[in-house]
Amino acid sequence: MVELFDIQGTRGTLAVHRWSAGAPRYTVLLAHGYGEHAGRYQHVASRLVDDGAEVVAPDHLGHGRSGGERALIVDIDDLVTDLQLVAERVVAPGQLLVLLGHSMGGVIATRYAQRFPAGLSALVLSGPVIGGNPGLEALAEMDPIPDVPIDPAMLSRDPSVGAAYAADELVYHGPFRRDTLRAIGASVAAIAAGPGLGALPTLWVHGELDQLAPLEVTRGAVQRLRASDLTEHVYPGAQHEVFNEINGEQVIDDVVAFLHTVV
């Protein structure tokens, strides 16, 4: 059962989703990807709740049920600050905190770990765009930007995933915005400038055939972050949304197994 509540973020009202086990052993703060919303992670949250977690996930500014112009991001660090505001609201003193970010949410989660490392028990990155995407970066310099939204076929080998994404009215289906592309690029540069992740236990899960966060570009960024306690899983044949892949249950099981080593 999901609870929805609002908080005031840096630039507008944020809709926050909370799934809870009642007496959770740990909290997972979840950052969703570009153009989508936290409701798409119901199945991930349910599995984590079964493991004794509380899962809390805002719809980012300009996404889902939150306020703001659709899919417009001026500064990724605003979304990082929003995530910290959510953490201050929901994480009890002494509670173990895990940060999970997918795609653009992986950028947000990594910047959070760089800016607010105190109190973090673990970091989970799924298809994080922390190394950038040369194709998308090129769009930002075109005038006008072509009307090329995300192709749902790039998300998963399961065609029902793309169909559900295309039919979801809370998903943004329009073209990329120049300011958003530049904000993501600036955040990728900030991540590369450091600091690294140090000894923070980190799990990186990625699809071998991810076209939105190309594997080798992302691998280079992960290596530059120099997490000394890094676990990685690259899934053969998988595309961008590994939690929604045909082996998605295995991916979620791998996340839970990792968490059992740290929380």
Which one of the listed residues 66, 78, 240, 254 is annotated catalytic? 240
Which one of the listed residues 78, 82, 210, 254 is annotated catalytic? 210
- The answer to whether 66 is a known catalytic residue is no
- Helix, strand or coil for residue 28? strand
Alpha carbons 72 and 205: distance in angstroms, whole number = 27
Instruction: Compute CA distances 204 → 47, 102, 140, 258, whole Å.
Output: 18, 10, 27, 10
For residue 213, the 8-state DSSP code is S
Contact between 109 and 119 under an 8 Å Cβ cutoff? The reply is no
Which one of the listed residues 103, 126, 156, 187 is annotated catalytic? 103
Number of H helices, E strands in the chain: 8, 8
- The answer to whether 253 is a known catalytic residue is no
Task: Please compute Rg for the chain using Cα positions.
Answer: 17
CA 43 to chain centre: 15
Which amino acid is present at 154? M
Alpha carbons 251 and 126: distance in angstroms, whole number = 10
Which class for 164: exposed (0-12), middle (13-18), buried (19 or more C-beta within 10 A)? middle
H or E segment and range at residue 107: helix 104-115
Contact between 225 and 111 under an 8 Å Cβ cutoff? The reply is no
- The answer to whether 121 is a known catalytic residue is no
Instruction: Compute CA distances 96 → 30, 46, 251, whole Å.
Output: 14, 18, 22
Kindly list the catalytic residues: 103, 210, 240
